[in-house]
Amino acid sequence: MTGASEPLLQALVALADAQADEDQPATLYRALDAVLAQTIGHTLFTVLRYDVATHESARIYSNMPRAYPTAAKKPLSGGNWTEIVLTRGEAFIGRTPDDLRAVFADHELIASLGCESVLNVPVRWKGRTLASLNLLHTRGWYRDEHVPIAQSLAQYALPALLADA
């Protein structure tokens, strides 16, 4: 295979190799970070696990641990974002700072990192959202054509999420 499919094929191989590594889930999350940076792009990348019973999210990976440390828990707020990503299991794109301000309480911290757009992609199993991969970048970065690629790559996180469940 050559041409446009070559980077995606390399990404899939890298993720499969990462899943086989014994240092889990760290190796897999770092590989997802690298693959998503290469295929779609991001400045900030986090993985949030959702607990339906407690209505909380916990950050389990961050490429900027000083600004966004892991193990930080926060209660889930209701609203449009929760309905889209957690309940319906669809990706959410916020293209402007106003979009981020409308759904994220930490929008000022996000902006201070140079991030003005977001792509949140759920990781689903048996009809429910276990986690989301959260990519943030400059204004207007994310487009609808990023969604199917991000959704497919996000599912590579599933073994790590199920193992830690």
Q: For 145-157, what is each residue's pLDDT tens digit? A: 999 999 999 999 9
pLDDT at 1 over 90: no
DSSP 69-94: -TT-EEEPP-SHHIIIIIIS---EEE
114: left (phi over 0), alpha (psi -120 to 50) or beta: left
Average pLDDT over residues 108-121: 97
CATH 3.30.450.40 is held by the domain 5-163: yes
pLDDT tens, residue by residue, 34-90: 999 999 999 999 999 999 888 899 999 999 999 999 987 888 876 789 999 999 999
Assess contact for 100 and 113: CB atoms under 8 A: no
Name the phi and psi angles at 76, rounded to 5.
-75, 135
This prediction's pTM: 0.93
